[in-house]
């Protein structure tokens, strides 16, 4: 088959949403946030904070110098730091320091193009003046959550700023914490905007590999449905067109011992899309305790983002980023 392409309490004060929010990082290290803001359009950090906080320029600069401003979970002190749509800006109650024991940003060369960023190890697959593609390990968030600060964005930010304090990554898409594989960032706001606006047109291939439970009756097929999210934040498949349309194409490449090795391409990038679609056809991904697994032979979710092909909007070059399938994905099929 050819496949195509803890609790938050808030009150309003002077137009700012204020939170009594505490984020735990161990018993002796807790960060409390005064406010949280979602970026709706590109802006410079200083200008954004002036509008959101309704305070003086000197007060905003003081927050920055005292390390009380975080973007996507990373402390930012530059007033002209470029913000992009969907960035999250948090104002901490007190100064935020780097977590104890965390290594300084550094790079270790491995071959011609491979570099290792601070632990957990994020490998750089490709880098030019516009883009940086990394291999995210399973167990690491793409961007921070309310409960976890460590993420791929922070790792890449520290790497870029070790070379140029004014630089930053702009995330273009996300993969689940439990999923490993290719994650792509823009290195300037112009390219970020162009790619975000034309993402579905410019992305040629979004390929994953999955180890699923059972033997498929149809060895190749397209799953199409609408995805919705329930009150418990679980995504489910439905034919109700009020949901988000999702299209997943799959092909079984190997099977045995009650498992199937499946190559998947997605035409839409919905939350948990592949996991939900595999569950909906009776073949949940191994290790997926969120979506119906009964077995966990890998000790992790059996899903890996193996390939992303994208047309560069400026140079028109077709770029392909690949991440090797984790070796233990094949152990389910050993005789």
Mean pLDDT, range 46-51, rounded to an integer: 93
Does pLDDT of 2 surpass 60?
no
| The last residue of a domain, from among 196, 213, 248 | 196
Domain match, 231 and 311 both: yes
* Residue 49, Ramachandran bin (φ over 0: left; ψ between -120 and 50: alpha; else beta): alpha
Work out the pLDDT band at 115, boundaries 50, 70, 90: low
Mean pLDDT, range 217-236, rounded to an integer: 94
Q: Which long-range contacts (CB under 8 A, 24 or more apart) does 214-217 make?
A: 214/258, 214/259, 214/260, 214/282, 214/283, 215/255, 215/258, 215/260, 216/252, 216/255, 216/260, 216/262, 216/283
Residue range(s) defining the domain that contains residue 160: 108-196
Domain match, 112 and 181 both: yes
pLDDT on residue 197: 87
Crossing angle (nearest 10°) for helices 45-53 and 57-65? 120
Mean pLDDT, range 32-56, rounded to an integer: 90
pLDDT on residue 96: 85
Domain match, 77 and 142 both: no
Work out the pLDDT band at 4, boundaries 50, 70, 90: very low
101: in domain: no
User: Helices (DSSP H) in the chain: which residue ranges?
Assistant: 45-53, 57-65, 152-163, 189-197, 199-202, 273-280
Domain match, 85 and 159 both: no
Does pLDDT of 282 surpass 70?
yes
| The last residue of a domain, from among 140, 161, 196 | 196
Residues 248-260: tens digit of each pLDDT: 999 999 999 999 9
Distance from CA of residue 48 to its chain's centroid? 24
264: in domain: yes
| The last residue of a domain, from among 148, 165, 196 | 196
SS3 label, residue 156: helix
What share of the chain in percent tops pLDDT 70? 84
Does pLDDT of 196 surpass 90?
no
Domain match, 135 and 80 both: no
Domain match, 219 and 323 both: yes
**259-263, 272-276, 290-294, 299-303 — which is least confidently predicted?**
290-294
Domain match, 206 and 181 both: no
103: in domain: no
1: in domain: no
Are 150 and 120 spatial neighbours (Cβ–Cβ below 8 Å)? yes
3: in domain: no
Domain match, 319 and 268 both: yes
pLDDT on residue 221: 97
**114-123, 150-159, 180-189, 316-325 — which is least confidently predicted?**
114-123
Work out the pLDDT band at 16, boundaries 50, 70, 90: very low
Mean pLDDT, range 153-176, rounded to an integer: 91
Domain match, 270 and 327 both: yes
Work out the pLDDT band at 30, boundaries 50, 70, 90: low
314: in domain: yes
Domain match, 115 and 203 both: no
Domain match, 178 and 192 both: yes
**For the chain, what is the domain count?**
3
The domain that holds 65 is classified in CATH as: 3.10.290.10
49: in domain: yes
Domain match, 255 and 217 both: yes
- Report, as residue numbers or ranges, the catalytic residues: 176
SS3 label, residue 97: coil
SS3 label, residue 129: coil
SS3 label, residue 71: strand
The domain that holds 210 is classified in CATH as: 3.30.2350.10
Nearest to 309, CA basis, from 207, 208, 205, 209: 205
Residues 76-111: tens digit of each pLDDT: 888 888 898 888 899 998 898 754 333 333 333 333
4: in domain: no
How far apart are the C-alpha atoms of 62 and 208, rounded to whole Å?
45
The whole-model pTM stands at 0.75
pLDDT on residue 149: 76
């Amino acid at each position: 088959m050819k496949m195509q392409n803890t609790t938050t309490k808030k009150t309003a004060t002077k137009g700012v949403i204020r939170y009594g929010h505490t984020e735990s990082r161990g018993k002796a290290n807790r960060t409390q946030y005064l406010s949280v803001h979602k970026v709706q359009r590109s802006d410079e950090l200083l200008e954004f904070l002036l509008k959101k906080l309704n305070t003086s320029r000197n007060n905003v600069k003081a927050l920055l110098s005292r390390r009380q401003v975080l973007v996507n979970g990373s402390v930012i002190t530059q007033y002209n730091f470029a913000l992009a749509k969907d960035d999250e800006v948090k104002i901490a109650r007190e100064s935020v320091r780097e977590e104890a024991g965390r290594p300084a940003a550094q790079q270790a060369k491995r071959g011609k193009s491979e570099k290792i960023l601070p632990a957990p190890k994020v490998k750089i697959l490709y880098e030019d003046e516009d883009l940086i593609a990394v291999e995210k390990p399973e167990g690491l968030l793409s961007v921070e959550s309310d409960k976890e600060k460590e993420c791929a964005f922070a790792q890449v930010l520290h790497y870029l700023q070790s070379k140029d304090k004014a630089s930053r990554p702009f995330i273009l898409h996300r993969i689940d914490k439990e999923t490993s594989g290719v994650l792509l960032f823009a290195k300037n706001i112009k390219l970020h905007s162009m790619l975000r606006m034309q993402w579905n047109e410019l992305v040629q291939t979004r390929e994953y590999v999955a180890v699923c439970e059972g033997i498929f009756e149809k060895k190749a097929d397209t799953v199409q449905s609408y995805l919705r999210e329930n009150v418990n934040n679980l995504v489910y498949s439905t034919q109700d067109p009020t949901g988000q349309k999702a299209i997943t194409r799959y092909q079984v490449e190997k099977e045995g011992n009650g498992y199937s090795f499946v190559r998947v391409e997605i035409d839409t990038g919905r939350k948990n899309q592949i996991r939900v679609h595999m569950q909906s056809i009776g073949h949940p991904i191994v290790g997926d305790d969120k979506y119906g697994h009964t077995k966990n032979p890998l000790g992790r979710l059996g899903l890996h983002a193996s390939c992303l092909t994208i047309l560069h909007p400026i140079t028109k070059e077709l770029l392909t980023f690949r991440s090797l399938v984790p070796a233990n994905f094949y152990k389910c099929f050993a005789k």
